[in-house]
């Protein structure tokens, strides 16, 4: 008891002998501060205490630009610099777009009589994709067919007339079977190289109003044009795997539409990949097993179809970070010349896909916060 009393009196004596120092509230432009020259960072701005008349107040603040992590330069330092993958891929894509004034080939627009476009300027999205990929473009004979649920039968007849040998039943069977599920799009190239991009317009969300859907589908049009013919599903022969096909389109939609803001790019990249970050089973080993070149029916039954988009997008982002976005389309061009995906990959990146895969898988896992 006596020892505790001495301890209490000692603590009390310390507080009584220590001068009172008023604490500032979090810095806010125009709010009162206590000492001229003192600075404080709140969120993404640095505020400085300045004299205004007879008062000391926080100034308007200056945005703090965070130092970006070091970018990987090859597969040798990819794992070490995994934190710089996203910025490197985005910055190379942004630079390609800003340094180009190229335009995508003109197209014929067919819009349903009761349809209002949710994204009024699809050519803008197409042009951004074209600039990002440089010399690679879609078929010069190209139609964009847009429709909502009320016009689905009209759209089916239009598709049948434009491409009689296509799977025009897709419009009512899958693309727009119900009003609630009338969303998304598809690209169809006939044996003569004529392209048809189909867009549904009934769902109004960020994907349909920002141009990302148009950029995604137009990327497929460019892919198919490199292959000079219709796309099989699932992909066979020298066609790249579906996770590369959809992954590249997923990467394209964000890198092109948000080319002028890394913050928006990374936000939307994470939004479309949120399930990857939540699923703890997706480790480096799991990813390595996922990226198979031999996609059997058992593979499609085992994995959620959306992993082709988000996980595939992360793989393509790695490749764009290392050699720029055009390199990812060069793989298609080489496959179109008759090469297998594995051979095309090695020609473009200087290493076989099989040898690069463990490194890619490890880097992606680290981005997801796993090993």
Q: What was the pLDDT predicted at 201? A: 79
Identify the pLDDT of residue 206: 67
User: DSSP letters along 45-75, please?
Assistant: EEEEEEEETTEEEE-S-EE--PPPPPPP-ST
Within 10 angstroms of residue 266's Cβ, the number of other Cβ atoms is 15
Inter-residue contact 36 to 60 (CB < 8 Å)? no
Residue 34 · residue 24 · CB < 8 Å: yes
Summarize pLDDT for 118-133 with one digit per residue, the tens. 899 999 999 999 999 9
Compute the distance between CA of residue 297 and CA of residue 276 in angstroms, rounded to an integer: 23
**In the prediction, which pLDDT does 230 show?**
82
pLDDT of residue 78: 98
Pairwise pLDDT comparison (104 vs 204), residue with the higher score: 104
Among 261, 266, 249, smallest CA distance to 212 is for 249
pLDDT attached to residue 134:
93
For the segment 287-307, what is each residue's pLDDT rounded down to a tens digit?
A: 999 999 989 999 999 999 999
How far apart CA 246 and CA 309 sit, in angstroms, is: 5
- In the chain, domain spans: 28-66, 70-85+263-371, 100-231
Single pTM value for the model? 0.82
Q: How many CB atoms lie within 10 A of CB 310?
A: 22
């Amino acid at each position: 008891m006596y020892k505790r009393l001495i301890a209490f009196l000692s603590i009390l004596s310390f507080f009584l002998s220590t001068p009172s120092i008023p604490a500032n509230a979090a810095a806010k432009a125009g709010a009162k501060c206590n000492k001229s020259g003192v600075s404080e960072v709140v969120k993404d701005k640095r505020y400085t205490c300045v004299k205004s008349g007879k008062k000391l107040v926080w100034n308007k603040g200056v945005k703090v630009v965070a130092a970006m992590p070091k970018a990987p330069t090859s597969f040798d330092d990819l794992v070490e610099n995994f934190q710089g993958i996203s910025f490197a891929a985005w910055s190379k894509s942004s630079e390609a777009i800003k340094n180009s004034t190229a335009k995508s080939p003109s197209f014929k627009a067919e819009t349903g009589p009761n349809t209002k476009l949710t994204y009024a300027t699809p050519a803008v999205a197409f042009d951004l994709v074209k600039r990002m990929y440089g010399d690679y473009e879609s078929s010069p004979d190209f139609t964009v067919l847009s429709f909502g649920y009320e016009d689905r039968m009209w759209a089916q007849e239009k598709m049948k007339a434009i491409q009689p040998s296509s799977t025009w039943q897709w419009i009512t069977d899958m693309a727009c079977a119900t009003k609630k599920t009338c969303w998304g799009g598809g690209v169809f190239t006939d044996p003569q190289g004529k392209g048809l991009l189909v867009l549904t317009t009934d769902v109004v969300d960020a994907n349909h109003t920002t141009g990302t859907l148009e950029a995604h589908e137009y990327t497929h049009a460019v892919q198919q044009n490199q292959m000079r013919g219709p796309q099989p599903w699932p992909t066979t022969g020298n066609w790249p795997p579906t996770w590369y096909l959809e992954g590249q389109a997923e990467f394209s939609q964000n890198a092109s539409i948000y080319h002028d803001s890394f913050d928006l790019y990374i936000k939307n990249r994470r939004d479309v990949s949120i399930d990857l970050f939540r699923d703890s089973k997706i480790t480096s080993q799991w990813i390595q097993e996922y990226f198979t070149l031999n996609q059997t029916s058992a593979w499609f039954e085992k994995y959620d179809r959306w992993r082709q988009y988000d996980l595939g997008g992360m793989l393509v982002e790695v490749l764009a970070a290392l050699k720029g976005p055009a390199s990812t389309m060069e793989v298609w061009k080489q496959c179109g010349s008759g090469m297998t995906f594995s051979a095309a990959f090695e020609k473009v990146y200087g290493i076989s896909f099989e040898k690069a895969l463990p490194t890619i898988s490890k880097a992606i896992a680290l981005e997801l916060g796993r090993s």
